[in-house]
Amino acid sequence: MDGSTAIERVPTGIDGFDHVALGGLPARRSTLVSGTTGSGKTVFAVEFLARGILCFDEPGVFVTFEEAPAGIRLNSASLGFPIERWEDEGRWAFVDASDVLTDEAPAVGAYDFGGLAARVTYAVRRTGARRVVLDSLGALFARFADAAVVRRELLKITLGLQALGVTSVVTAERPGEYDGVTRHGVEPFVMDNVVVLRNALRRGRRSRTLEIVKFRGAAHRTGEWIFTIDPAEGIVLVPPAFLAASTGGRASTVRVSSGNAGLDEMCGGGLYRDAVVLVSGPTGMGKTLTALRFAATAAESGERCLICTFDETREQLLRDAGGWGLDLRAMEASGLLRVVSGYPEVASPEDHFLRIRRSIEEFAPTRLVVDTLSSLERVVSQRALLDFVIALGALLRRDEITTLLTAAPTGHAVPAGVSAVTMEIAGLADVWIMLRYAERAGEARRAVTVLRARGSAHDHRIREFTIDGGGMRIGEPLNGVPHVSTGNADPTALWPPSARATDRPPG
């Protein structure tokens, strides 16, 4: 919206949210944060105040209608928020309105909401607060039958907060993940800004998303954004859009080796340092070997590499590497290699993303291996996996970390090893290397082709390769097998004619 340029923003400090909100919450307004039980409303509210103190030196007031202040202090301690100390310093104040909800509390007609407003106003002025939270209105509406009176009185409170010049967050319950904004119809007094948190059950797993439904007069990114609640970091969004924008349009012109001279030649002289490379193919084709050689080359050059494996344990990977003459233990001991392993089922894609991001921040690698993305397909939707790859790729390109991803066929994939989601991921990669089996003279041969190498001339011929104790050895082009043109190649052209008609993946 054009009018958004005139609206001041208040950064929340919540990891990723301000990028989706294009700067933060509209200043001096009330924002409704609505969600079902367990969606993260109170965490959002606590972080809004705590990050304001930590990042922007802005005091805050927390008005609680349900949970006692002692419980909020305790639950926030794991996030590193010293609320009790901030209270002593006069930078955080609680207004405990839970007495409104006791069995002995008077009916709403007799309750002095003006008294509550006065308590909030006093706390704001005493602390010099710039931020206020009201958590949670669901408890308030559940206690009083006359919702119209409650809405009217709360409208007075929120208007009073605006008059005080504070930016406020008001939390409320929703009846369902995709059923209305709130349970009790509180939108009339907070319709300027609405943020919805969801905790939907998909494929047997909970998946949290955040959506900015409305910022009146202020622009924001639309759609649902995946987030996780980390025990140490709080809410962390995984927003591909802001990560893609954060690269700043830079593109490296420096070439690095893939670890295989023949493959470097096929890719036009190596890989660009900020490239994301996809190596796809069936089991046993040499994807992990290619990834390990890629990692070892970094160590040989005195650079760090991070390996994230979803298929094997760390010990299994070290053992397998030893069979190809690669001493990963020595590389680890030198500080040039770190291996992070974990089966996909133990965490959500956003948790895996957070773990990888944290490892990158701690270890500062110049290369990353993810082996294999296809393992994540067992537990997540195609959309969730694509979001994971988009966010990860943008983060890595920004830091110029050369990345190698592997993928194997799953579901409806044909023998060539191209599943529907692999095709989608390939469209996001800078380089796509396909390994496959090719029939020649009645024998199954291994073949490799570079289907894409953005910004680089490359060998698009299909070449035979072998694997021995020294690794992958790329040979001559396979005669009689169709060439693949660069750019808009159809990977199904690589499949045997008998497979194209019956085994083509849907779509």
CB 122 within 8 A of CB 128: no
**105 three-state secondary structure:** coil
- 3-state SS class at 463: strand
pLDDT of residue 106: 46
Residue 196's beta-bridge partner residues? Answer: 34, 211
Sign of the Cα pseudo-torsion (228, 234, 235, 240, in order): negative
pLDDT at 244 over 70: no
Q: Confidence class of residue 484 from pLDDT cuts 50, 70 and 90?
A: very low
3-state DSSP assignment of residue 65: coil
What's the residue count for the chain? 507
Residues in CB range of 265: below 8 A, 6 or more apart = 459
Rounded CA-CA distance 333/321 in Å is 15
pLDDT grade for 109, boundaries at 50, 70 and 90: very low
Q: Contact at 8 Å (CB) between 283 and 407? A: no
Q: Which among 119, 41, 53, 107 is positioned nearest to 80, based on CA atoms?
A: 53
Go through the domains of the chain in sequence order and give each one's CATH number. Answer: 2-237 (3.40.50.300), 261-500 (3.40.50.300)
Asked if 214 and 1 touch (Cβ cutoff 8 Å), the reply is no
Q: What percent of the chain is predicted at pLDDT more than 90?
A: 48
Q: Give the distance from CA 498 to its chain's centroid.
A: 40
> Cis peptide before 121, with omega less than 30 degrees from 0?
no
Q: What percent of the chain has pLDDT above 70?
A: 81
Residue 500 has pLDDT above 70, yes or no: no
More confident residue, 252 or 337: 337
CB contact at 8 A, 446 and 465: yes
pLDDT of the residue at 498 = 35
pLDDT: which is higher, 130 or 482: 130
The predicted-structure confidence for 154-193, as pLDDT tens digits, reads as follows 788 888 888 999 999 999 888 766 665 565 666 555 568 9
Is the model's pLDDT at 501 over the cut of 50?
no
- Please count the other Cβ atoms lying within 10 Å of the Cβ belonging to residue 439: 12
Instruction: Give 402 or 242, the one with higher predicted confidence.
Output: 402
pTM exceeds 0.95, yes or no? no
Mean predicted lDDT score pLDDT of the chain: 82
Model confidence at 242, pLDDT cuts 50, 70, 90, reads low
pLDDT category at 206 given cuts 50, 70, 90 is confident
Q: In this predicted structure, what is the pLDDT of residue 231?
A: 86
- pLDDT of amino acid 107: 46
Burial of 277 (0-12, 13-18, 19+ CB in 10 A): buried
